[in-house]
Amino acid sequence: MNHLRGAVLFLAAALLQWWWSTRLSFDGLSPQILLVLTVAMAGRVGPNSGMCYGFLWGLFIDILRPELFGGNALALMLVGYGTGTLRRKIDVIDAVSQCLIVFFMTWGNFLLYGLLGAVFAKNFIWVGWPAFLCDPLYNCLIVPFAGLACAWLRVR
């Protein structure tokens, strides 16, 4: 893996997430690009790199939305680890299986973040029904682009 390409992908994804969520969101709904890229990275390079990318992208999201600082970092780190360990049992690089993993990891991310809010902020941080029902579908739409970005990263 080229470290310069990794840094470019990291910064480009963070800026794209910020731009999309502030400029192109429809009624507050936008895809979670960083979650999808965390799943794609963990599927391609394993749990350790997936955890690192997920943690750093989660810190970026926590800086953008400081409701529970560190909650997104922990949640995306666990998403990266879970996907990286799943790749030993199923093919997570295939677009269909990756879409299913992204779909369920989105719900898991929402619920874990809410539970972390219940423990540390004394209230369950709920994203709302529109986001809970529509974001997994939006995330599945960008799975092929995340796969291309990760494939670009792995090119020698």
User: What is the pLDDT at residue 141?
Assistant: 92
User: What is the pLDDT at residue 1?
Assistant: 56
User: What is the pLDDT at residue 155?
Assistant: 57
| Global pTM exceeds 0.85 | yes
- Arithmetic mean of pLDDT over the chain: 89
Give per-residue pLDDT as tens, 83-135: 999 888 888 778 898 899 999 999 999 999 999 999 998 899 988 899 999 99
- Go through the domains of the chain in sequence order and give each one's CATH number: 3-154 (1.10.1760)
**Which 3-state string (H, E, C) describes the chain?**
CCHHHHHHHHHHHHHHHHHHHHHCCECCECCCHHHHHHHHHHHHHCHHHHHHHHHHHHHHHHHHCCCCCCHHHHHHHHHHHHHHHHCCCCCCCCHHHHHHHHHHHHHHHHHHHHHHHHHHCCCCCCCCHHHHHHHHHHHHHCHHHHHHHHHHHHCC
